[in-house]
Structure 1
Amino acid sequence: MNISDHLPHASKIIMIDEVVEFGAGKIKTRSVIKEDNGFLRDGKIEMYKAIEIMAQALGVYDSKTREESGKKSGLGFLLGSRKFEIFIPCLSVGDEVEVVSICSIQDDSGFGVYDCELYVNGILGSKASLSVISPDDDFLQKVLND
């Protein structure tokens, strides 16, 4: 599976290398921080950017979920985060990053809340509850035309 098929991002800012586990209400992803990563500053990625990694994992989850039900992948939006905690200050080149996201709430409009944990080399680096929406095309057209 090519992750770029599931995310609309430019390749240098895609923070997910592979899906380790995918199922109803859950996704686990893995990546290794590379030297060409677009988020690197002085060889480090500040841990507050973990929210982006978590959001990308949810983007892949949504795309794969739609794909399984015969729908085409759409745009998704991060609406906000709650309970964001940081336990490690930054990521470095070569770090292995795993994200585990579990659905807390999901409705038919595309709105969902997911509990996410990000592990760095097997150690909990941060966690947050993310609110996202992945509206269908009809909803997007209505919003854009109103």
Structure 2
Amino acid sequence: MEKRIEPIERVVPHRGTLLLIDRVLDWDAESILVELRVPDESIFHDAEGVPGWVGLEYMAQAIAAWAGCKARAGGGAPTIGFLLGTRRYECARTHFRSGSLLQVEARCELLGDNGLGMFACRIVEGGETLATANVSVFEPGDAAAYLETGTMGNTQT
């Protein structure tokens, strides 16, 4: 598998105002580092910046970028995944300030053959950790079928 740094649009399925991360800085078989500049205006922005709880979505998009990088390196395309939940999301700030340059790290701790995964994530600004969490995700083999049926492809009851 050849490691290449792709433009963010090639590794994350999000588009428009829902694409919250700007670029991949580095990635490998177990982790990724992405970067974003907190915008002056966004769908989440309020008078104080972007609320701290949005950091969970930054983490989820970093994981999506990791999966997309792996897919591209293997000759495939990024697919749809789902954020299932988080454990111990801790954020040192109520808001991420507009203009802040944030780095989001995600490290795969567990990834099952069924598409379920757990990632240790953190958000850093200038060397200071602002947020940490363990994030649970699900990437079904066939996202369209999963959305239609709500099952992981096993039609037996």
TM-score past 0.5 threshold: yes
Alpha-carbon distance between aligned partners in 2 of 1:13 and 1:72, rounded to the nearest angstrom: 19
User: What is the identity, as a one-letter code, of the residue corresponding to 1:11?
Assistant: G
Look up the match of 2:45: 40
TM-score, length of structure 1 as denominator length: 0.89
**Residue-by-residue CA offset, 1:83-110 (whole Å, 9 max, x unaligned):** 1111122111110110111110011221
Structure richer in strand, relative to its length: 1
Look up the match of 1:144: 148
User: What is the identity, as a one-letter code, of the residue corresponding to 1:136?
Assistant: G
Alpha-carbon distance between aligned partners in 1 of 2:90 and 2:40, rounded to the nearest angstrom: 26
Look up the match of 1:51: 56
**Residue-by-residue CA offset, 1:28-61 (whole Å, 9 max, x unaligned):** 0111112233221114111111000000001111
Work out whether 1:134 is the aligned partner of 2:144.
no
5 Å matches for 1:45-124?
Answer: 45-124=50-129
User: What is the identity, as a one-letter code, of the residue corresponding to 1:10?
Assistant: R
Alpha-carbon distance between aligned partners in 2 of 1:142 and 1:44, rounded to the nearest angstrom: 36
Query: How many pairs were matched up?
Result: 145
TM-score, length of structure 2 as denominator length: 0.84
After TM superposition, give the deviation of residue 14 of structure 1 in Å. 1.7
Report % sequence identity. 24
Q: Give unpaired runs (5+ residues) of structure 2.
A: 1-5, 150-154
Alpha-carbon distance between aligned partners in 1 of 2:147 and 2:7, rounded to the nearest angstrom: 31
Question: Cα RMSD over matched residues?
Answer: 1.8
After TM superposition, give the deviation of residue 111 of structure 1 in Å. 1.1
Greater displacement, 61-70 / 94-103:
61-70
Indicate conservation of the 8 Å contact 2:140/2:146, yes or no. no
Q: Which of 12, 34, 40 is residue 7 of structure 1 equivalent to?
A: 12
- Pair 1:143–1:3, CA change in 2 (3 A): closer
